[in-house]
Structure 1
């Protein structure tokens, strides 16, 4: 399946946390779909709760949309942990890792052995040599993993992220169920324990192909286009903000200058009035003195 290549700058922006401005670490997304590092959003939540004295929820740092945490509302310390992982961002990280692959077996490197890799496990995200690949297929835990040759990866980079998705809570289980009520994929154990009271729980068919679907690829491309549009809009808004700041500063300067002119004019009027008063006072005093002299004579 052919895919559209992304601009490097656009992909770097998508993989950047808007709080720390660094590459995502353990990305978590909010209901408004804004994504942040787990530590960043945790720190933000703690600051928000202490500032607003709100134990019911918080607002998104970007769009200010209200976020409520249902069953975990009593303990803000675990709110960030309860947020879902952004598998799309993680998949893009995986794709970057494939592009930087040096074609050495990652399993052999753990033993300080440099062995040429011939395949790639899409679940473990590791390069494997011929021997390690055979062992990988024999282990019960990894027997169902999707393994591709490096040639297949070079033909289609999206195949690198098309492996079976594992459950967040049970790493030895694969995602087979999707809870519509919580908007979260899970394994059969989670569905039995945590989602048994949910009304809408559906079975995911062909779970191994979720990430490689045309819908996912189209969504990524659409997301990049929307992000480009939003970035341009934000730049335009920022320009308007700067213009308003400049206009405000100009008005402040005009007010200060006008104030200064008014004060100078008032001082001039005060000086003229005092001089006229002094002259009149002197004339009146002279007249009164002459009368006293005449009367005395």
Structure 2
């Protein structure tokens, strides 16, 4: 059998009833091979004294038993489906649908109308329409397929068929209207107006069909642009984090060297002071010894012996001592110079940091809040953050409703990320046993950890506590974070 798309190429005349001039409804076949609607053929035979084919006029001795032609019904069904797919215009739908309009002449029971006459303003069955086919005057009447709203097709003022459309007043009129109320107006045949409107519809559809892919392309462009901007932003964040880390590392390294230098200077000054103090103590001991000797001599009772044996020169000689008047340990000036240099460096760094857009507290809150909802994926890396520090940070950014009152309060500024509460000692960086999630720590994905470090830095001497995500479970496998490297299933969070 041909595909359904081929039925669209069929002429509608090939599958329509020759009585109602509409697409078959319950098609039945006569013994002579012609096809009609069951209702049309039954009505025709009921109104005729003989039983004959309406088309070839072949008579039958008795009324044949009518059965629906399933083959033609299938063709019509596929034809209608094809029309619905190809077009949804009201004109085609009305062609495919059978309208049950009663004959205005028939007395009960009323038969189904075969045609509606615009000149008569009535609908007629096949039998009562016979006069329109035979009478010369009635042959000129305009017949249409039966409609229920026949008044809409007739001018109520002149009781004539509505055949024209007045473009000035945008209404349908009859021929007499053009000589009275609509005289001199721009009027055209309704068929012409319909053709133009259908052409306009076609043009509008064409524009719409062009606009749709254009907008779909725009959507793709916007998505691509958004993805590109996200990639650029990610690269900027990674580069900024790298630069800031390098700066922090350089400052920390310089801080270590500076502290070492200050400590070395301090030790040198202490050694110098100790040497000077020792020399002074030696001189003091010598002076004290000399003073004791002189004190003893001053109590000699033999004056002659005292004068002969101890000349004046000997008594006035003092032990060898240094001149300490100009000897000082001067360190304040060098320290003051160092302090000034550091303050200048701090001022310079602050000025440069002011040029970098500040990450607002609301942005911090929103970004970390979103990242906390990240789904665990096997192979990813997550980081432990001390709950005490994280709670302080939440207060500072107003994370929870109860934290709003502390938002931006410098007293709640958390400072560098500090995981010391999780560590056994800062040297090995091993974490304590039996840590409980939320109570002792929270878990953040890599992106969240890098954001916190870029905003606040990491406490001196600490290293990130990174842990892997693994697939756990023999039957229902789920992803979990291995908090303890030599993991015990009960310790997986």
TM-score, with length taken from structure 1: 0.42
Bigger relative contact order, structure 1 or 2, given CA contacts below 8 A and separation 6+? 1
TM-score, with length taken from structure 2: 0.28
